[in-house]
Amino acid sequence: MEVKDFDFNLPEELIAQTPLADRTASRLLVLDKDTGDTAHRHFRDITEYLTAGDCLVLNDTRVLPARLLGTKEETGANIELLLLKQTEDDVWEALVKPAKRVKTGTVVSFGEGLLKAECIGEADHGGRYFRMIYDGIFYEILDQLGDMPLPPYIREKLDDKDRYQTVFARERGSAAAPTAGLHFTEGLLDDLREKGVNVVFITLHVGLGTFRPVSVEDIESHDMHAEFYRITQETADIINNTKRSGGRVVAVGTTSARTLETVGTKFGDMQEDSDWTDIFIYPGYTFKAVDALITNFHLPKSTLVMLVSALAGRDHILNAYREAVDEKYRFFSFGDAMLIAPQTKGEPQ
C-alpha cells in the first residue's frame, strides 16, 4: 500500500486559521464506518450519538508554550527552538531553525538571558539536545517566554493561548494539541455524563511525529516517532467494564486511539500502564479496543488519514473527505470534526 493511495484534493481556503468563538459550534460529519453513509450535523449534536453505557476517552495532555525565539550568544543570529520532550532533568530534545547554525556547544539566549539553552548533542531526525540554564522555576519561565507551537499551516496569530488547549488539559508535555478534544466544553461533558456516558482520561504527549510527513512511498517502511503515554487503573477498569457490558469505547482523537490500541495490543485488555508507543495503524490493522472515533479532518497522505482509513475503510474515508470538501468543512487543527462509528445502537438517540 502506497502513500499516494491516501491523497485527496484540498483547497487551501478550507484550512481553518482560527478557532470558532464557541467550541461546540463546529460542524460534525457523522460517518457510518460499516456502510459509508454520512450525516451533517453540528458538534453539540454529539450527545445524540452517544448513549448510556458508552465510554468517551479523552487525552488530558497539556500543550507546552514550547516555541522559543532567541539569539545565538556568539553571533546574535536569530534561532527558533521547538521543545519536544524532556529527556532528563533540564535536558530537552528540540527542533531547531535554522539547524545548521546550532552545533554542540552553541548557547542560545531567550528573554535577555532569563533562559539559556546549551546544545549538548544531536538527536534523530535533525533535532538537538539542549541543557536549560535558568534561575527559578522552569515552567514559569517557559510560560513567560514561550509561544504556542501552532502547526505550520496556521499562519494567523492566536490571540488566546487557551484556545489551543482542551478545557480538560492538565498533564504538561505536548508539542501539539490533541485537536479533536478542542470541540468539548465542560458543559457538553456534563451533558454526556448526565446521559450516562462514562467520561475518562488517558495521557499521550503529542511529539515529533505530528510534524513529520511520510517520506517513503511504501507506508510499511515509515517509522513512527515514539510518544509517552499513561493510563490509570481506574480508567482501565471503566473501559473493560464498558466492553463487558456491550457499550462502545469512543476515542476522542487519534492520540487517544493510539494509546488504547497500544495497551490493548500489549495486554489483551486495558491495564494500568505507562510507556512509549510508536504504534502505526493503517488499513489491515484489527482494532482491539476502539469502537468509534471522534476526530478532525487530517492532512492528505498523513499517518492520521491512514489510521482513520483502518477504522472505516479507505474508500469510505476518502468519499467522506470529498464530501466534506464539497460541503466546505473546515480542515485541520481548528477545523470541524467527524464521528466515525458503527450504527450498532440504531438511530441517534
Residue 340 has pLDDT above 60, yes or no: yes
Q: pLDDT confidence of 163, banded at 50, 70, 90?
A: very high
Q: pLDDT confidence of 175, banded at 50, 70, 90?
A: confident
Q: pLDDT confidence of 210, banded at 50, 70, 90?
A: low
Q: Answer positive or negative: Cα dihedral of 95, 171, 241, 344.
A: negative
Judge if 227 and 176 occupy the same domain: yes
Judge if 182 and 314 occupy the same domain: yes
Judge if 132 and 166 occupy the same domain: no
Separation in Å, CA 50 to CA 36, 279, 349: 19, 27, 8
Q: pLDDT confidence of 157, banded at 50, 70, 90?
A: confident
The DSSP code for 289 is S
Average of per-residue pLDDT values in the chain:
93
Grid cell 482494532 is found at 287
Question: Is there a contact between 334 and 18 (Cβ–Cβ < 8 Å)?
Answer: yes
Boundary-marking domain end, from 125, 147, 169:
147
The verdict on residue 136 lying in a domain is: yes
CA distance between the termini of the chain:
38
The verdict on residue 155 lying in a domain is: no
Alpha-carbon dihedral of residues 112, 114, 118, 124, nearest 10 degrees? -100
The verdict on residue 221 lying in a domain is: yes
pLDDT above 70 as % of the chain = 97
**pLDDT of 347:** 46
Q: What is the mean pLDDT of residues 267-271?
A: 97
Q: What is the mean pLDDT of residues 235-241?
A: 98
Judge if 131 and 232 occupy the same domain: no
**What distance in Å separates the CA atoms of residue 227 and residue 320, rounded to the nearest whole number?**
29
- Taking residue 232's Cβ as centre, other Cβ atoms within 10 Å add up to 16
Which CATH number characterizes residue 248's domain? 3.40.1780.10
Which CATH number characterizes residue 123's domain? 2.40.10.240
Residue 211 has pLDDT above 60, yes or no: no
Separation in Å, CA 79 to CA 95, 106, 135, 154, 174: 11, 11, 21, 20, 21
In the chain, the number of structural domains is: 2
What residue ranges in 232-272 does DSSP mark as E strands? 249-252
Tell me if the bond preceding 151 is cis, omega within 30° of 0: no
Residue 345 has pLDDT above 50, yes or no: no
Q: 52: which 3 cell numbers? A: 448510556
pLDDT above 90 as % of the chain = 83
Judge if 207 and 141 occupy the same domain: no
Give Cα 54 distance to the centre of its chain: 22
Q: 168: which 3 cell numbers? A: 480538560
**pLDDT of 224:** 87
Judge if 76 and 182 occupy the same domain: no
Judge if 141 and 274 occupy the same domain: no
Phi, psi (degrees; rounded to nearest 5) at 200: -130, 165
Residue 235 has pLDDT above 70, yes or no: yes
Our separate counts of H helices and E strands in the chain read 6, 17
Judge if 289 and 179 occupy the same domain: yes
Residue 47, sorted as left (phi over 0), alpha (psi -120 to 50) or beta, turns out to be alpha
Judge if 58 and 72 occupy the same domain: no
Q: pLDDT confidence of 212, banded at 50, 70, 90?
A: low
Judge residue 186's burial from the number of C-beta atoms within 10 Å of its C-beta, 0-12 exposed, 13-18 middle, 19 or more buried.
Answer: exposed
**What distance in Å separates the CA atoms of residue 185 and residue 262, rounded to the nearest whole number?**
27
Q: Global pTM?
A: 0.90
- Of residues 209 and 193, the one with the higher pLDDT is 193
- Of residues 72 and 209, the one with the higher pLDDT is 72
By three-state DSSP, how is residue 138 classified? helix
By three-state DSSP, how is residue 200 classified? strand
Question: Is there a contact between 116 and 90 (Cβ–Cβ < 8 Å)?
Answer: no
Per-residue three-class SS string for 80-119: EEEEEEEEECCEEEEEEECHHHCCCCCEEEECCCCEEEEE
Farthest-apart Cα atoms in the chain, separation: 66
Question: Is there a contact between 114 and 145 (Cβ–Cβ < 8 Å)?
Answer: yes
Question: Is there a contact between 63 and 174 (Cβ–Cβ < 8 Å)?
Answer: yes
Question: Is there a contact between 28 and 42 (Cβ–Cβ < 8 Å)?
Answer: yes
The verdict on residue 156 lying in a domain is: no
Residue 130 has pLDDT above 90, yes or no: yes
By three-state DSSP, how is residue 304 classified? helix
Q: Which domain holds residue 136?
A: 67-147
Judge if 325 and 263 occupy the same domain: yes
**What distance in Å separates the CA atoms of residue 270 and residue 236, rounded to the nearest whole number?**
5
The verdict on residue 247 lying in a domain is: yes
**pLDDT of 346:** 41
The verdict on residue 38 lying in a domain is: yes
